Amino acid sequence: MSQIFIRKQITLLLTGFCVLILNSPIQSQQKDVCIALHGGAGNISKATLTEEEQNAYKEKMVEALKVGYEVLKNGGSSVDAVEKAIRVLEDSPLFNAGKGAVYTANGTIELDASVMCGKSLKAGAVAGVTIIRNPISAAIKVMTLTPHVMLIGKGAEDFALAQKLDTAGPSYFYDEKRWLQYLEKKEKGELTSGNKNIIFGTVGVVAMDKEGNLAAGTSTGGMSYKKNGRVGDSPIIGAGTYADNRYGAVSCTGHGEFFIRNVVAYDIIALKAYKGWSIEKAARYVICDKLKKQGADGGVICIDSKGNISASFNTSAMFRGYINKKGEMKVDIF
């Protein structure tokens, strides 16, 4: 057998092997998508919410999960899924974000939101805004269209107007239940943190897309009867929101001052990065040990780099749900 013939056969084999690789299904290189959300945490009992109210919360969480999951299944990015899911929650007066947000001590609403992309480590946030219907969308615009991370107050609102984002006046955000809560607190001169039945209605979403990219987003109306200009953890990257493809994505809800001081979202990621803990173990330690010892209430949702979902909270309830890598959905409150 001549050397020329052997070389031809080897060439044909290599060509066929390359064609086989090029024609291999892309799906085999893609990740299974997943998404998780929270709608706030609090020390409430089952008797606090009627069955009808519980069902209303669960139905809205299911709606948000399905909207985000549909984005992911159709090949959309984790950032897009986070935005779409959070917008559903911001548009619902059931949660303390967007429409139906709690009132400040001055009887106004001030909204905060943030987002982080685990692939690029870019982030965006807005704080203290009053006219932006969906603050999460403004946060994403800050991340993608500016060199900054956070815009606040009028500057953030002017930016949102320039981007033609949906805006609205006080009547859009008004919710009778929230207003009555405000009047009660005003009469007592009571800040939210003094109320044992507090519900931190902040909303958040974490997601993994087909490319394995993670994202996290958080949106809130803040603390009921808060001082004008107060900003909590939700718009602060590392405190209320964090995402890094190498380790995981985290969104927080709770007593923001403690979450800021403890840099909760990043602390969870750091424990995984530097100690090699699972994200579930890290979250449980930070929320149920570290924060609890400080008298801080709240919780987190997380997705790690392999798409494992976990939720940890040190209160009696946290509105939460997920659709995992198998496509299984679950929502829960208590």
Query: Are 225 and 192 spatial neighbours (Cβ–Cβ below 8 Å)?
Result: yes
Q: How far is CA 325 from the centre of its chain?
A: 18
With respect to residue 114, please indicate whether it lies within any of the assigned structural domains.
Answer: yes
d(CA 245, CA 241): 14
130 as an active site residue: the answer is no
Inside any domain, residue 290:
yes
User: Per residue, what are the HEC states of 108-173?
Assistant: CCCEEEEEEECCCCCEEEEEEECCECCHHHHHHHHHHHCCCCEEEHHHHHHHHHHCCCCECCHHHH
Residue 8 lies in a domain: no
In this prediction, residues 227-254 reach a mean pLDDT of 98
Q: Is the dihedral of CA 297, 192, 65, 163 positive or negative?
A: negative
Task: Retrieve residue 276's tokens.
Answer: 């090699």
The answer to whether residue 195 scores a pLDDT higher than 50 is: no
At 86, the pLDDT band (50, 70, 90 cuts) reads: very high
208 pLDDT more than 70? yes
d(CA 280, CA 45): 25
Q: Which residue has the higher pLDDT, 245 or 198?
A: 245
CA angle in degrees (0–180, nearest 5) for 73-203-259: 120
Task: Identify the sign of the CA torsion 123, 128, 131, 135.
Answer: positive
Annotated catalytic residue, options 104, 130, 202, 220 = 202
According to the model, what pLDDT value does residue 23 have? 38
Q: Is residue 5 part of a domain?
A: no
The pLDDT of residue 48 is 87
Q: Lowest-confidence range among 8-17, 265-274, 312-321? A: 8-17
**Residue 141 belongs to a domain:** yes
Number of domains in the chain: 1
Tokens representing residue 121 in the block: 């480590």
Assess if residue 232 is contained within a domain. yes
CB atoms < 10 A from the CB of 326, how many?
Answer: 8
**pLDDT greater at residue 14 or residue 30:** 30
List CB contacts of 152: < 8 A, sequence separation 6 or more: 126, 127, 128, 129, 231
Give the tens place of pLDDT for each residue, 45-55: 888 899 999 99
Residue 216 lies inside a defined structural domain of this protein? yes
CATH of the domain at 58: 3.60.20.30
DSSP state of 239: T
The amino acid at residue 296 is: A
Quick check: helix, strand or coil at residue 4? helix
Which pair of tokens denotes residue 112? 């905060």
Closest by Cα among 121, 124, 103 to 113:
124
- Other Cβ atoms less than 10 A from the Cβ of 6: the count is 10
Average pLDDT, rounded, for the chain? 91
Q: What tokens appear for 228 in the block?
A: 């004008």
50 within 8 A of 90, measured Cβ to Cβ:
no
| Mean of pLDDT values over 121-132 | 98
**pLDDT higher at 289 or 17:** 289
Tens of pLDDT, residue by residue over 26-73, are 344 577 999 999 999 999 888 889 999 999 999 999 999 999 999 999
Confidence tier at 200 by pLDDT (50, 70, 90)? confident
Asked whether 178 and 70 are in contact (CB, 8 A), the reply is no
Asked if residue 136 lies in contact with residue 217, where contact means CB atoms within 8 angstroms, the answer is: yes
Compute CA distances 213 → 74, 94, 219, whole Å: 15, 30, 21
Domain-located, residue 146: yes
**Token pair 């609205």 is at which residue?**
168
Per-residue model confidence as pLDDT tens digits over 276-299: 999 999 999 999 999 999 999 999
- Asked if pLDDT for residue 190 goes beyond 90, the answer is no
CB 215 within 8 A of CB 207: yes
- The two counts, helices (H) then strands (E), for the chain are 11, 13
Cα–chain center distance at 82: 7
Instruction: Give the pLDDT mean for 102-123.
Output: 97
Q: Pairing state of beta strands 123-129 and 150-152?
A: parallel
CA 226 to chain centre: 22
The predicted model scores a pTM of: 0.89
**CA 137, CA 156: separation in Å to the nearest integer?**
12
pLDDT of residue 206: 99
Domain that holds residue 238: 29-332
The pLDDT, as a whole number, for residue 30 is 75
